[in-house]
Amino acid sequence: MTDIINRFKKELGENNVLLNEPMSAHTTFRIGGNADIFITPDSIERVCRAVKTAKESGLPYYIIGNGSNLLVKDNGFRGIIIQIYKGLSYINVEDNIITAGAGALLSTVAKKALDASLTGMECLSGIPGTVGGAVCMNAGAYGGEMKDIVVSSKVLVNGNVETIDNASSEFGYRISRIMKENMIVLETVFKLEKGNYDEIKAKMQELAAQRNAKQPVELPSAGSTFKRPEGYFAGKLIDGSGLRGYSVGQAQVSPKHCGFVVNNGGAAADDVLRLIEYVQKTVYDKFGVMLEPEVRIIGE
């Protein structure tokens, strides 16, 4: 392990290599044990080098962005977490085309789109993920999805940097070929339309107000805990099963929005996992629908 740590330090710079790093500091759930090695490569070249070194180490590794759709278990992650975030967050706007590093926050890209009077990102502007995480998940909200605006992504796949266009990304509901084939997003190109600054701004503000009114944004969470089952809404099924406000330890089905599990302060990953299982079982017994977690679960 010491050899690998030294190699990362040499390749990425000392400041970009952390040891025994609490994952609670890197997830919006504010939950998770320590990662043995936590690295933050700050250029495309460094991401590629870091992934090569991680592969050669034989240790498990996992890519994260803003950790806004992530539950890390209490015993942490025995291996290497590669965070693609602030170091790879450039955003370039040219006419109606935006090119963004995978680590740029969607909200910052949306702000740049607004500044350039570009429409198409309003629905997505409130999703608290990075470009890479949102492309991988095909994140979506209020009738819009990443697939509506992505032209192509530069990805790392089998050690090579390739460009994958929208059609080849095979975007589906909260899934993509990028996720299925463990590709790593390095950069994404978006195509938007020229619009009216005031209208774009008003739409973003209206949707932000809706989010604040309906979602428990004041508490740590990972957004919607479950995917939307076909023909239903997860939150409605959970509410209909009498689980509004149901708690396990400090993890709770949000009384404000039953689709969200929230951390009421110091929740353990185990609390969340037991709550997820209980919700799945109760909803299945009542409605015959098996809820599938949208939140990605990693660790020991």
Ligand X SMILES: Cc1cc2nc3c(=O)[nH]c(=O)nc-3n(C[C@H](O)[C@H](O)[C@H](O)COP(=O)(O)OP(=O)(O)OC[C@H]3O[C@@H](n4cnc5c(N)ncnc54)[C@H](O)[C@@H]3O)c2cc1C
Query: What are the residue numbers of the active site?
Result: 174, 224, 294
- Joined together, the tokens standing for residue 121 give 């990102």
For ligand X, which is the closer residue by CB, 139 or 291?
A: 139
DSSP annotation string for 226-280 = B---TTS-HHHHHHHTT-TT-EETTEEE-SS-TTEEEE-SS--HHHHHHHHHHHH
For ligand X, which is the closer residue by CB, 2 or 74?
A: 74
- Our finding on whether 133 is near ligand X (CB under 6 A) is yes
Own/partner contacts of 228-232, CB < 8 Å, gap of 24 or more, are 228/173, 229/289, 229/290, 229/291, 229/292, 232/287, 232/289
What three-state secondary structure class fits 260? strand
CB of 7 to ligand X, least distance (A): 22
Residue in 101, 120, 129, 195 binding ligand X, rule: CB under 6 A: 129
Helix 197-214 / helix 106-115 crossing angle, nearest 10 deg? 150
Half-sphere exposure of 138 (CA within 13 A, CB side): 21
Residue range at the interface with ligand X (CB under 6 A); choices 193-201, 214-222, 235-243, 262-270: 214-222
- Our finding on whether 40 is near ligand X (CB under 6 A) is no
Residue in 63, 98, 100, 272 binding ligand X, rule: CB under 6 A: 63
Site string for ligand X, 140-159 (x = CB under 6 A): xx------------------
- Our finding on whether 137 is near ligand X (CB under 6 A) is yes
CA distance 191 to 118: 9
Residue in 16, 40, 57, 69 binding ligand X, rule: CB under 6 A: 69
CA of 75: how far to CAs of 22, 26, 54, 170, 293, in Å?
Answer: 10, 15, 21, 34, 20
For ligand X, which is the closer residue by CB, 92 or 210?
A: 210
Chain CA centroid to CA 206, Å: 23
- Our finding on whether 269 is near ligand X (CB under 6 A) is no
- Our finding on whether 104 is near ligand X (CB under 6 A) is no
For ligand X, which is the closer residue by CB, 194 or 209?
A: 209
For ligand X, which is the closer residue by CB, 141 or 289?
A: 141
Picking from 155, 30, 20, the residue whose alpha carbon sits closest to that of residue 75 is 20
Residue in 5, 11, 28, 247 binding ligand X, rule: CB under 6 A: 28
Q: How many residues bind ligand X (CB under 6 A)?
A: 32
Amino acid at 289: V
Q: Which residues bind ligand X (CB under 6 A)?
A: 28, 63-70, 84, 102, 127-130, 132-134, 136-137, 139-141, 178, 184-185, 215, 217, 221-223, 296
